[in-house]
Amino acid sequence: MRTLTGGCACGAVRYETPGDWEFSFQCHCRKCQRATGTGHAPAFAVSRAETRLHGPIKHYEHVADTGARTKTGFCPECGSPIVSSTERFPERIYLLAATLDDPTVFRPQFAVFESEAQPWDTVPPELRG
């Protein structure tokens, strides 16, 4: 079983999570666009209980379009977005693909909130629902 590791740009926040992710995706919702400063957030779902986060994380709480409360965790030193979570699925967290030590292992399986995708950041046809 492999271990996935990663962290923020400055190294103040690190994580490791055993095994493979539950699923991987690209989220095009406005919350993710604003949190990442891009057109979408490439992320993967992992078990909260099996993932170890090290270092300080500042959370921003937000109410999603679905009405669920969500949190986005950033490094307070460099501002890198690292993790997000939702009250809808408290057993899972979502790590951003670009935070992986080896981001080449990331392969999105599907896209969500494609209707909110920016015209300059299109959803690849193979990920459309």
Share of the chain above pLDDT 70, in %: 99
Q: 3-114: what fold?
A: 2.170.150
Give per-residue burial for 35-70: e unless 16+ CB within 10 Å, then b.
bbeebbbbbbbbeeeebebebebeeeebebeeeeeb
| pLDDT-derived band at 42, boundaries 50, 70, 90 | very high
**Residue indicated by tokens 């993967």:** 44
**Per-residue pLDDT at 1 exceeds 90:** no
**Per-residue pLDDT at 65 exceeds 80:** no
For 42-56, what is the mean pLDDT? 96
For 18-38, what is the mean pLDDT? 90
Q: Cα–Cα distance between 120 and 92 in angstroms, integer?
A: 30
Share of the chain above pLDDT 90, in %: 74
Contacts (Cβ under 8 Å, ≥6 apart) of 48: 85, 90, 91, 92, 93
pTM for the full predicted model: 0.91
- Return the bridge partners of 61, or none: 71
